[in-house]
Each structure stands twice: as C-alpha cells, then as structure tokens.
Amino acid sequence: MVSAKAVLVRLAMVAVLVAGVGILSTTASADDAATFKAKCAMCHGADGKGSAVGQKMGVHDFTSADVQKMSDAELTDVITKGKNKMPAYAGKLQESDIKGLVAYIRQLGKGK
Ligand code: HEC
C-alpha cells in the first residue's frame, strides 16, 4: 500500500521538475550570463547599460525601450552580422548561444 503522503511527495517532485523545464526553455541560462560577461560586457556593461568604452562607440542601453522594442530577429541579426562598431559574431558563436544571448538581453530589460 502506498500512503497518501508518499503520493503527494511524488506529485510535488513532478511539479518541481515540470516547472524547472519550463524555466529553462524560456529564460537565459547561467551559461548565457557567463558568455555575455566574457564577450559583451566590455562594451555593453555587465548590466547591459553600456561600459565607458562602449558608450564612446555608440552602444545603446539594453534596458531602454529603444532596444527592447527591437524584435528577437533584429537583435539576432545585429549580433550575427554586426553593425558599425558592433563586431559580427557569425562563426564565433553558435546559433544557440546567440539565441541565449537574446534571451539574456530580454532578461536585462526586465531589470533582473
Ligand atoms: C567592441 C565593442 C562591442 C562588443 C564586444 C559587443 N558589442 Fe554589441 N554593440 C556595440 C555597438 C557600438 C553597438 C551599436 C551599433 C550601432 O547601432 O551603431 C552594438 C549593438 C548591439 C546590439 C543592438 C542593439 C543596440 O544597442 O543597438 C545588440 C543586440 C548587441 N550589440 C549585442 C551584443 C552581444 C550579445 C555581444 C557579445 C556577444 C556584443 N554585442 C558585443 C559594441 C559592442
């Protein structure tokens, strides 16, 4: 006989797993944060608002409405192909990495 308590514990474990998978698929991972800090923060700043160097080159604040209103496709395009002083990352980053970085930029926009 399985006790009611054991059934509840199992249900809770399933709920936690399902919630965990949901979070992973919609938000940036710790890897994306690490990639951003290693490759982008020197110009864009750890908070996405732009470093002193980046601001001289003309970066825009990732938390601003101007950047957040750009579509995922537009953000992906700039990261892949570059724009003015923004280097192109095609061939340097995997498509999946760039997707994660776009998610990370969205996360910065929400102030997280
Ligand atoms: C050498 C400095 C530099 C580095 C490194 C850099 N960027 Fe940029 N980035 C820029 C500049 C300058 C712009 C603004 C381009 C323009 O509109 O003229 C920009 C623009 C962007 C934009 C478009 C939104 C905007 O601000 O106009 C995105 C998205 C972006 N960068 C993402 C990234 C990501 C992700 C990385 C790391 C993989 C990265 N950048 C690394 C300098 C940099």
For the chain, the structural domain boundaries read: 29-109
Quickly name the fold that domain 29-109 has: Cytochrome Bc1 Complex; Chain D, domain 2 (1.10.760)
The residue type at 27: T
Question: Is the minimum distance from the CB of 102 to ligand 1 under 6 angstroms?
Answer: no
Q: Of all atoms in ligand 1, which is nearest to the CA of residue 60?
A: 26
The size of the chain, in residues, is 112
CA dist 12 and 14 (Å) reads 5
Q: What is the pLDDT of residue 23?
A: 47
Question: Is the minimum distance from the CB of 48 to ligand 1 under 6 angstroms?
Answer: no
> Could you report the per-residue pLDDT of 40-87, keeping only the tens digit for each?
999 999 999 999 999 999 999 999 999 999 999 999 999 999 999 999
- What are the two backbone dihedrals, phi and then psi, of residue 51, each rounded to the nearest 5 degrees? -80, 170
Instruction: Detail the DSSP E strand segments found in 39-103.
Output: none
- What are the two backbone dihedrals, phi and then psi, of residue 92, each rounded to the nearest 5 degrees? -100, -30
